[in-house]
Amino acid sequence: EVLLRMHSVGICGSDVHYWQHGRIGDFVVKHPMVLGHEASGTVVKVGSGVTHLQPGDRVAIEPGVPREMDEFCKTGRYNLSPTIFFCATPPDDGNLCRYYKHSASYCYKLPDNVTFEEGALIEPLSVGIHACRRAGVTLGSKVFVSGSGPIGLVNVIIAKMMGAAAVVVTDLSASRLQKAKEVGADFTIQVKNETPQEVASKVEGALGCMPDITVECTGVQACIQAGIYATRSGGTLVLVGLGPEMVTVPIVNAAVREVDIRGIFRYCNTWPVAIALLASKRINVKPLVTHRFPLEKALEAFETTKRGEGVKVMLKCDPTDQSP
């Protein structure tokens, strides 16, 4: 294990949801819990067996740490391990604090040209990497990203990076769609009260064809329906956004057109590739951070996120640090 002095921690929609509702699905907050799981910091102390890190190293933290070497770990899909530790998922404490202890194997050294903020953004970025891998995005893919919040945006960035020829994004918010354009979306569609079929035909109109791949980042029933209608026959729909447990969808439409529907749960094996992309300047995640608060103003930061202002809100945990 290593002891870290925390630096930058992003606020996630799930953090806000636990704070407001005390549960997400089967994960119920029963005792006081520290929030935060999008984080970076500086190594202060290392355990006796740790060789790849030393005090002073700047690291990004992968929040999911398997507790046992089970079948899922053996096949490289450790995110599916039922006993995994995960920051800020009850009953496991997160890392929105000054000092934090974490498994050394899940702390990744940041190169000098990757900032602490970029290090903290690797967590949401990882959702995009995992989703686009599961979707099979490749050279020339036509991709529809439903929803332009932080997770929609990282999916745009990664889909383009993985070779997508065209990416179209839908959202209710014009300002969020503007941000999608900024990070590389080719087309944006502001939805108002169209039916799912109408949304699907607008997507086809923008791309000039039906997308091979749809990445659904809202969890809203109508959006999942639109995702099925929009995806071309033989294509793939990946469900990233989480909404109600039961959703009514045109499953027969998907079945008879051989549209594969896949889910994702967090991510695995993404930190090294994200660091390589950031270090080589192949991707730019800086536009995602729109607000910054010191740890003392955490409540204000959470309220800003809850109101849906900006994109990604960052908390600064190290009062001695004067960097921008």
What pTM was estimated for this model as a whole? 0.97
- Residue 187 three-state SS: strand
Report pLDDT digits (tens) over 206-243: 999 999 999 999 999 999 999 999 999 999 999 999 99
* pLDDT for residue 323: 60
CB atoms within 10 A of CB 38: 30
Of the candidates 265, 192, 253, 264, the residue with the CA atom closest to the CA atom of residue 227: 253
Percent of the chain with pLDDT over 90: 97
- Residue 219 three-state SS: coil
- Report how many helices (DSSP H) and strands (DSSP E) the chain contains, helices first: 10, 17
Residue 264 tokens, joined: 């994702």
- Residue 202 three-state SS: helix
User: Could you give the CA distance from residue 302 to residue 293 in angstroms, rounded to a whole number?
Assistant: 10
- Dihedral over alpha carbons 6, 265, 239, 132 (to 10 degrees): 70
How many angstroms separate the Cα of 244 from the Cα of each of 24, 124, 132, 292?
A: 10, 21, 23, 31
Q: Tell me the average pLDDT of the chain.
A: 97
Strand pairing partners for 293? 315
Sign of torsion over alpha carbons 180, 185, 188, 191: negative
Q: What is the pLDDT along the chain (324 residues), one digit of tens a residue?
A: 999 999 999 999 999 999 999 999 999 999 999 999 999 999 999 999 999 999 999 999 999 999 999 999 999 999 999 999 999 999 999 999 999 999 999 999 999 999 999 999 999 999 999 999 999 999 999 999 999 999 999 999 999 999 999 999 999 999 999 999 999 999 999 999 999 999 999 999 999 999 999 999 999 999 999 999 999 999 999 999 999 999 999 999 999 999 999 999 999 999 999 999 999 999 999 999 999 999 999 999 999 999 999 899 999 998 887 665
153 neighbors 180 (Cβ within 8 angstroms): yes
CATH numbers and ranges of domains, the chain: 2-109+285-316 (3.90.180.10), 129-263 (3.40.50.720)
Amino acid in position 108 = Y
118 neighbors 282 (Cβ within 8 angstroms): no
